[in-house]
Structures are given as structure tokens and as C-alpha cells.
Structure 1
Amino acid sequence: MQILRIDSATTGEQSVTRKLTDELTRHFREKHPDAKVVERDLVADPLPHIDPITTKAIRTAPETHEEAVAAAYPDERAVLDEFLASDVVIVGAPMYNFSIPSQLKAWLDRLGVPGVTFRYSEAGPEGLAGGRKVVIASARGGAYSNDDMAENQESLLATMFGFLGVDDLSFVRVEKTGFGPEAIEEGLAAAKAEIAKL
């Protein structure tokens, strides 16, 4: 049993999603005391945005790699293997400017691998990376719920993980984080009640 925790908020101790990923990690460790926990902080240890070399390393067979691609392959593949080895994946995903942090997008770009996490068939795309639980810790400064202004944050994540075959996907959300400490505490209390049900 492996639990993977991903953090992407750049606001340090003020981060609401980091408070949520703390709570989620604690919750799942209590449910699975023998689980291995792997943590990846995309701010403290950022992944570079993909480029021609990393794209080839991610998407092509190792036996076809030239020297620069072969050198990049182990680190690129390690990100994907970490995800595939995990039974529970906790993703801290704050809304930044109506989308997700670019650090988180760089991580997602390493998960979509043809023939490994998805494939195309006559019937259309088929996700190959199911069989794991993914929980998104979401935080937003305003009160957006699921309206169009949130389209490029939670909907993007639901689409991406759905495309990869993940059908056990949950969102734990705190809204109105820009409204002050009382709103944050109220939101966190509600979110903790939701976490207890997972």
C-alpha cells in the first residue's frame, strides 16, 4: 500500500491546500497504518516544464533514445512510476488565476503516456491507470462552486484523471479563502468533515 502526496501551492504555511493535504495524509495513514507515504513537493523540488528532450523521454521507447533523451529518461519515468505504484494519490491543487499552478501542470504532463496510462482504439480513448483512489485538495479565493470560472481548475483535473482511467476521484474543497481567517476556518472545518467520510 502506497500513499502519494503532491503539493503545488506556493504560499507555504499560509496554504489552505497544504492544510488539506496534511489532513488527508493523516486520515489515510490512520486507515492504512502500514502504508508507505511518498511526498512530492512541486515547489520545493519543481519539475521543469516539458521540452523536446523530456517529451521524447516520456513518450518513446527507451531503446530508441539518443544520448540526451536516455539521460533524461530515469528522472522522467520515476515521476510516472511513483504515480503508478500508489494506491491513494492526494493532490493539492489551489486555483491560481482560474487554473492550476504551472508546477502541477508540469507533473500532470508526465502522467499522460500513450500505451502506458492511456491508449486509443476504435471505440476511442481508453484509460489504463485506474485501480487507484485520487483525492484533490482544492482551494479558491472566491466562491465559484462548479461554475464556468472554475472550468480550468477542477474540471481540468477531473478530465485528466478520467482520461487516464481513474474512476475513484474525489474533491475536498475550501472556497472563500480570500475572505479572511474566519471564512478559511469555516471552510476547513467543513472539509475535515468531508475527509472523515472518505
Structure 2
Amino acid sequence: MKLLHIDSSILGENSVSRQLSAEIVAQLQKKHANLEVEYLDLGTTDIPHLTQEILLGQDIEQSKLGEDLVDQYLSADLIVLGAAMYNFSISSNLKAWVDRIAIAGKTFKYTADGAVGLADKIQKVYIASSRGGIYGEKSPIDFQEAFLKQIFNFTGVTNIDVIRAEGVNLSPENRAKAVAETLDAIHKL
């Protein structure tokens, strides 16, 4: 079984989402002895934002990178994504990755009845979400978790768990409490 572990925070070791995603991976490794983990750090991996040349396949190097990212995504059975909220949404580096893996004919196709996801081999996605404030599950200003769920659903992945730590920037006490509660929930996975 293959797990793709993706981190997108730019905060390095100060990142809550990285701490949570690492713990989810550790829990899954305990459950699945044969788990092969591949790691992608979007905080340090340079994935340029989509341009006309990239989209039209005119940049050979970037076309190859896009193909590699799609292959990496499609070869996974499980995905663990560490995603912090940045200005009510996802980081720009995570958006650059999304733009590279949401490819017609590869991860989805259009039919007469609408789009159909092609990444249905992926059994489950775990999103380790961190937020500086408190937004709740259905906040009208949450463009982070809703967007990520939509992208995964669009590509054919419907089994998605969001593990969330909120209020981590309100105070050191709130951060410690949110992280502890979220780690406890992860240990119960």
C-alpha cells in the first residue's frame, strides 16, 4: 500500500499542519505494516504557478514535472495532506500543486453527464488542517477545507477525513490546547 504524504506549510518546524500530518502518517504506519510512504514538501519544492506555456505543453521541463506530479498522485492508495489556512484559503504553493494534478484526461474527464473523477484508486485522503482563528466546519469564509474537498471529489476521491486544529494563533495556550486535542483525535483514528 502506498501513501503520499504532502506538506504545504511554509513555516517549517513551526507548522501545526506539518506536526499533525506527521502524526497521521505515524498512526497509519502502525495500522499498515506494508505502508510505503512517499513525501512531497510543497514548502520547499518549486512548482511554478500555471502559465500559458505550461498549460499548452510548450515548457518541456514543466510538462515533465506536471506528468510526474500526476503519476505520483495517481499511484497513491492513501494521501495525507498537511494544509494550513492562509487568508481563508490554501497556500499558493498548494494551489500550484492542485493546478498540476487536476488534468482533464488524467485525473478527471468530461462526459455528457458532467465531469467524472479518474483518481478513484485513491482509497482515502486525510487533510490535516490548521487555522489561526476559529471558523468551524461550515464557515462561509472557509475557502480552505471546502476547496480541498471539492478538488479531491472532482478527481474521484470521495473518502475524505479532515482533522482540524483551530485557534492556533489566538494565544500560546490556545495553540497548545488545539494541538493536544487534535493529536488525541489522531491517536483514535
TM-score (norm 2): 0.93
**What is the aligned partner in structure 2 of residue 32 from structure 1?**
32
137, 148, 164: which is aligned to 2:140?
148
Q: How does 1:62-101 map to 2 (within 5 A)?
A: 68-101=58-91
**What is the aligned partner in structure 1 of residue 158 from structure 2?**
167
**What is the aligned partner in structure 2 of residue 20 from structure 1?**
20
Report the CA distance between 1:157 and its aligned residue. Answer: 0.7
Question: How far apart are the structure 1 equivalents of 2:91 and 2:59?
Answer: 26
Deviations, residues 128-187 of structure 1 (Å, cap 9, x unaligned): 11232111111111110121121x111111111111111111100000011222212221
**Aligned partners of 2:74 and 2:121 also within 8 Å:** no
Deviations, residues 100-142 of structure 1 (Å, cap 9, x unaligned): 0000000011111111211111211111112321111111111
Q: How does 1:82-121 map to 2 (within 5 A)?
A: 82-121=72-111
Point out where structure 1 has 5 or more consecutive residues left out of the alignment: 58-67
Question: How far apart are the structure 2 equivalents of 1:48 and 1:33?
Answer: 36
Point out where structure 2 has 5 or more consecutive residues left out of the alignment: none
**What is the aligned partner in structure 2 of residue 122 from structure 1?**
112
Secondary structure of 2:141's counterpart equals helix
Report the CA distance between 1:46 and its aligned residue. Answer: 2.3
Report the CA distance between 1:190 and its aligned residue. Answer: 2.0
Letter in 2 for 1:96: Y
- Going by fraction, where is helix more abundant, 1 or 2? 1
Secondary structure of 1:130's counterpart equals coil
Question: Deviating runs (4+, > 4 A) in structure 1?
Answer: none
Question: How far apart are the structure 2 equivalents of 1:75 and 1:160?
Answer: 20
**What is the aligned partner in structure 2 of residue 181 from structure 1?**
172
Report the CA distance between 1:71 and its aligned residue. Answer: 4.0
Deviations, residues 71-115 of structure 1 (Å, cap 9, x unaligned): 433222111111111111111111111110000000011111111
**What is the aligned partner in structure 2 of residue 2 from structure 1?**
2
Please tell me whether residue 138 in structure 1 is matched to residue 129 in structure 2: yes
Question: How far apart are the structure 1 equivalents of 2:62 and 2:13?
Answer: 33
**Aligned partners of 2:70 and 2:106 also within 8 Å:** no
Deviations, residues 14-47 of structure 1 (Å, cap 9, x unaligned): 1100100110111111112222111111111121
Letter in 2 for 1:163: F
TM-score (norm 1): 0.89
**Could you say what the CA RMSD is over the residues aligned between the two structures, in angstroms?**
1.4
Letter in 1 for 2:43: V
Report the CA distance between 1:53 and its aligned residue. Answer: 2.5
Percent of aligned pairs with the same amino acid: 37
Question: How far apart are the structure 1 equivalents of 2:12 and 2:171?
Answer: 17
